Amino acid sequence: MRDLPLDGRRIVLGVSGSIAAYKAAEIVSRLVQGGAEVHVVLTSHAREFIGAATFRGLTGNPVLTDVFDEPYDGRMAHISLAQGADLFLVAPATANLLAKMANGIADDVLTTMLLATDAPVIAAPAMNTVMFDHPATVANLSTLRQRGVEIVEPAEGRLACGSDGKGRLADPDAIVAAVHARIRRSCDLTGLRFLISAGAGSEPIDPVRLITNRSSGRMGVALARAAARRGGAVVLVAGHRSVEPPPGVEVVRFDTTASYRAACLERFPACDVFIGAAAPADFTPVTVSQTKIRRDSSGADLMIPLRSNPDVIAELAAQKDSRLVVGFAAESEDLRTRALEKLRAKGLDLIVANDITAEDAGFDVPTNRVVLVWPDGRHEDLPLMTKDELAHQILDRILGMTGLASRTPSPA
């Protein structure tokens, strides 16, 4: 019996109102041939271009066209399918649908299901070039990418309106290839145990004030979310002020470097990969005042003696054995040189370095551009991308370092 690449996978295909809707039939056919169980959802405008009977014939399954369609397995159809999907594909995705997705509008069965699913989502836009280039569409696509939606870029060529430009639905081969890649990725980290840290540490000065830094935790949380979605078992050690952690991961909170160190040392023996994306404080006050330090009426300067905190990631790397230890370097100059020095000094297997002077990368923004550096001096420059996209790029490199990249994942 043939081993089909999508065997056992449930894929929901949402079709919106575009002249390219007819190409969805070819996409469905390819997915079914690959072994997938495909369920199609049509918007009212999509039904103006292609009928439900076509998709019933191709999939052997009912086609959803309304929120009030008959239930599946005793549950409401749109909820049952949305929550039972391995992947949600939207092709074609019109400008209208992308706007609804980006803004959380749920006014029909397809948009309701997109809000109800926690499956990976792929969208393949199709529209007029001017609509595709409109600032609103550009912003909506950026928002969706930041939320982890994969966009299959439209092709250039002759459009239905008669003009030439970018906006044609991507070739069905490209869309199906994106589905295959995402399905493979959805479980390629199965069996790997990740300990990931995120966010800023803080050291108290007195009951009111503290020493902290600008780390938001976005990068570490993105790594935790991506690793969990790809089948990894994830423990996230997160600063109290970091962004909301993703579902499906165990979360341990820290504030001081001492609490960060304790949490990491306790859980490090049970992990295969440690990714230190947190920013624990490097220094702590020698003494912490038990009462609020008051300003001197004379306006005299206040001197607070500080001592160095332990270098937690170096301590972990010293006892790593077969584990991988990945660190981060936030630098303002000589990025590659300083990152390599830090990597070798701490005994890391990989370091991710970013320029903190760049306005569109680093702290407080959803995007980043980094340089990956290995112990032998090799480096790889990654372009500007969302932190969710970057998380997958980093995990891809880590997977290659584990020697497990060539294994064939099985359905979860």
Q: What is the pLDDT of residues 329-355, one digit of tens each?
A: 988 888 999 999 999 999 999 999 998
pTM over 0.75: no
**Domain locations along the chain:** 10-185, 193-293+301-402
Residue-averaged pLDDT of the chain? 90
Task: Give the whole-number percent of the chain exceeding pLDDT 90.
Answer: 69
Over residues 129-157, the pLDDT tens digits come to 999 999 999 999 999 988 889 999 998 87
Burial 220-252 (b: 16+ CB within 10 A, else e): bbbbbbbbbbbbbbbbbbbbeebbebbeebebb
Q: Which two tokens stand for residue 200?
A: 């800023």
Over residues 380-409, the pLDDT tens digits come to 999 988 888 899 999 999 999 987 654 444
For helices 135-146 and 387-402, what crossing angle results, to 10°?
A: 40
Catalytic residue (choose from 161, 187, 264, 271): 161
pLDDT at 73: 56
Over residues 196-219, the pLDDT tens digits come to 999 999 999 999 999 998 888 999
Q: Which two tokens stand for residue 266?
A: 């306790």
Over residues 160-174, the pLDDT tens digits come to 766 777 889 999 999
H-type helices in 34-163, by residue range?
52-59, 77-84, 95-103, 109-116, 129-133, 135-146
pLDDT at 344: 97
Q: Which two tokens stand for residue 258?
A: 């001492």
Over residues 240-265, the pLDDT tens digits come to 877 888 878 999 999 999 999 999 99
* Mean pLDDT within 365-384: 92
Q: Which of 90, 108, 217, 187 is nearest to 144 (CA)?
A: 90
Q: Which of 223, 197, 192 is nearest to 312 (CA)?
A: 197
Instruction: Give residue 398's identity as a one-letter amino acid code.
Output: I
Domains 10-185 and 193-293+301-402 share a fold: yes
Q: Is 187 a catalytic residue?
A: no
Pick the CATH number of 193-293+301-402 from 3.40.50.10300, 3.40.220.10, 3.30.930.10, 3.40.50.300: 3.40.50.10300
Pick the CATH number of 10-185 from 3.30.420.40, 3.40.50.12660, 1.20.210.10, 3.40.50.1950: 3.40.50.1950
pLDDT at 193: 97
Residues 6+ apart with CB under 8 A from 235: 193, 194, 195, 196, 249, 250, 251, 252, 267, 271
Instruction: Classify 175 in phi/psi space as left (phi over 0), alpha (psi -120 to 50) or beta.
Output: alpha
Report the range out of 63-77, 280-294, 295-309 with the highest average pLDDT. 280-294
pLDDT at 7: 85
Q: What is the largest CA-CA distance in the chain?
A: 87
φ/ψ of residue 144, rounded to 5: -65, -40
pLDDT at 412: 34
d(CA 55, CA 109): 17
